[in-house]
């Protein structure tokens, strides 16, 4: 995309699952990319400028936003629904603090374009999630704290549009994102990385929470990055879903992983006494299709890529709950 050539771009969370492919794409387009993260500098793609910065400190945000043409705000607090119940403050407070700080810093520094990464967690339980329905409902009880934090930051963008006339803020709501560089902490990981790690550590049988019937909309991290680039380039300044629009039962995902893992095939045992979360979480992606976006990586391709990456990197340290795991 010629649009990004020679642009000075900041990517917060640029060493995370979505951030790494996003930064690599921007570098290929000829952009000058700065990364802000609390993660390991070694994860920063070659050619980018890395700053280890705590975005809870507003002064850091101001320094990072100075002379930037575009800010992609991806930094977030990532964890399983169980962890949001156990440590809700560790999700709610940092998410609000550094998201509010970053948008305000970008406004003060007159950054022309800004992208805020919201979440599927803003939606209430429904058969299909449509962008306009958010403010008619409350977030799912399973996403109460994270969902409300993201909603408040979406309101911040709306408030800036009303008071300051800053309209160039794109808001994206990704579905269930997966891929390399995800968190594979078995106690805190989302469904796909959790299943991959369980499968890798199992001998003959793999235990899966719930009955496997819940349906999720999964999208590969590289496709999310591609969608973000297109959305910001086109100047889409209303919330837009990023998903595949296709539902896959957890049972289907578990069966595929159990067959394709290096030590498989494994027998799957569903523990129906464990919670399963909301029954169905499926994105309406009509708006995404209208701007010409279509995912390149289907679920089977994405799972194979993620399994392969994990098998090569499973000796790396996947820490316990980390309040600042980049998305």
Query: Residues 29-53: pLDDT tens digits?
Result: 999 999 999 988 999 999 999 999 9
Q: Tell me whether residue 322 is in a domain.
A: no
Q: Tell me whether residue 321 is in a domain.
A: no
Question: Tokens in use for 257?
Answer: 């992983």
Q: What H or E segment, with its residue span, contains residue 110?
A: none
Sole residue written with tokens 């001998």: 203
Average pLDDT value over all residues in the chain? 91
Residue 40: predicted pLDDT: 84
- DSSP letter (8 states) at residue 166: -
Is the pLDDT at 75 greater than 90? The verdict is yes
Q: Tell me whether residue 189 is in a domain.
A: yes
C-alpha distances out from residue 239 to 39, 40, 161, 301, Å:
28, 31, 13, 28
CA-CA distance, 209 to 20, in Å (whole number)? 30
Contact 212, 269 (CB under 8 A): no
Contact 221, 193 (CB under 8 A): no
pTM, to two decimals? 0.92
CA-closest candidate to residue 102, choices 122, 143, 74: 74
Q: Could you list the beta-strand ranges (E) of 7-164.
A: 8-12, 32-37, 49-52, 70-73, 113-117
More confident residue, 120 or 315: 120
How many Å from the N-terminal Cα to the C-terminal Cα in the chain? 23
Q: Tell me whether residue 201 is in a domain.
A: yes
CA-CA distance, 67 to 167, in Å (whole number)? 19
Q: Tell me whether residue 323 is in a domain.
A: no
Is the pLDDT at 213 greater than 60? The verdict is yes
Q: Tell me whether residue 69 is in a domain.
A: yes
Stretch 5-9: mean pLDDT = 98
In degrees, rounded to 5, the angle at the alpha carbon of residue 209 between the alpha carbons of residues 204 and 214 is 120
With bands split at pLDDT 50, 70 and 90, how would you rate the model's confidence at 187?
A: low
Residue 34: predicted pLDDT: 98
More confident residue, 143 or 189: 143
With bands split at pLDDT 50, 70 and 90, how would you rate the model's confidence at 275?
A: low
Dihedral pair phi/psi, residue 241, rounded to 5°:
-75, 145
Q: Tell me whether residue 325 is in a domain.
A: no
- Give residues with Cβ within 8 angstroms of 193, minimum separation 6: 178, 182, 183, 184, 306, 310
Is the pLDDT at 271 greater than 90? The verdict is no
Give percent of the chain above pLDDT 70: 93
Q: Tell me whether residue 327 is in a domain.
A: no
More confident residue, 219 or 186: 219
Number of domains in the chain: 1
- DSSP letter (8 states) at residue 129: B
Determine whether 87 is exposed, middle or buried from the number of CB atoms within 10 Å of its CB (0-12, 13-18, 19+): middle
Is the pLDDT at 321 greater than 50? The verdict is no
C-alpha distances out from residue 190 to 7, 79, 310, 316, Å:
34, 7, 14, 18
More confident residue, 321 or 126: 126
CATH number of the domain to which 126 belongs: 3.40.50.720
Domain boundaries, position 16: 2-313
Question: Tokens in use for 216?
Answer: 């999720």
The two counts, helices (H) then strands (E), for the chain are: 10, 14
Poorest-confidence range of 90-94, 204-208, 225-229, 320-324?
320-324
């Amino acid at each position: 995309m010629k649009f990004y050539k020679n642009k000075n771009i900041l990517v917060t969370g640029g060493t995370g699952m979505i951030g790494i492919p996003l930064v690599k794409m921007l570098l290929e387009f000829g952009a000058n990319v700065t990364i802000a993260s609390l993660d390991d500098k070694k994860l920063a793609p070659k050619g980018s400028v890395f700053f280890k910065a705590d975005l809870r400190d507003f002064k850091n945000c101001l320094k990072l936003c100075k002379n930037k043409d575009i800010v992609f705000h991806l930094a977030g607090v990532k964890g399983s629904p169980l962890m949001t119940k156990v440590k809700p403050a560790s999700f709610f407070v940092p998410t609000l603090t550094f998201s509010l700080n970053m948008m305000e810093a970008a406004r003060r520094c007159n950054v022309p374009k800004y992208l805020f990464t919201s979440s599927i967690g803003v939606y209430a339980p429904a058969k299909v999630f449509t962008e306009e329905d958010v403010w008619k409902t409350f977030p799912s009880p399973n996403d109460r704290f994270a969902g409300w934090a993201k909603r408040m930051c979406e309101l911040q963008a709306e408030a800036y549009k009303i008071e300051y006339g800053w309209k160039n803020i794109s808001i994206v709501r990704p579905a269930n994102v997966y891929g390399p560089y995800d968190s594979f902490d078995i106690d805190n990981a989302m469904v796909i990385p959790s299943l991959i790690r369980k499968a890798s550590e199992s001998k003959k049988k793999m235990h899966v929470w719930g009955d496997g019937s819940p349906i999720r909309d999964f999208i590969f991290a590289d496709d999310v990055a591609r969608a973000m680039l297109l959305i910001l380039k086109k100047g889409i300044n209303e919330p837009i879903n990023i998903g595949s629009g296709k539902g896959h039962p957890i049972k289907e995902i578990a069966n595929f992983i159990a067959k394709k893992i290096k030590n498989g095939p494994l027998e799957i045992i569903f523990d129906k006494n464990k919670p399963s979360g909301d029954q169905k979480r499926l994105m309406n992606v009509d708006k995404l299709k209208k701007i010409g976006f279509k995912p390149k990586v289907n679920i089977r391709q994405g799972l194979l890529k993620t399994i392969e990456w994990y098998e090569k990197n499973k000796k790396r340290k996947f820490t316990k709950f980390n309040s600042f795991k980049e998305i």
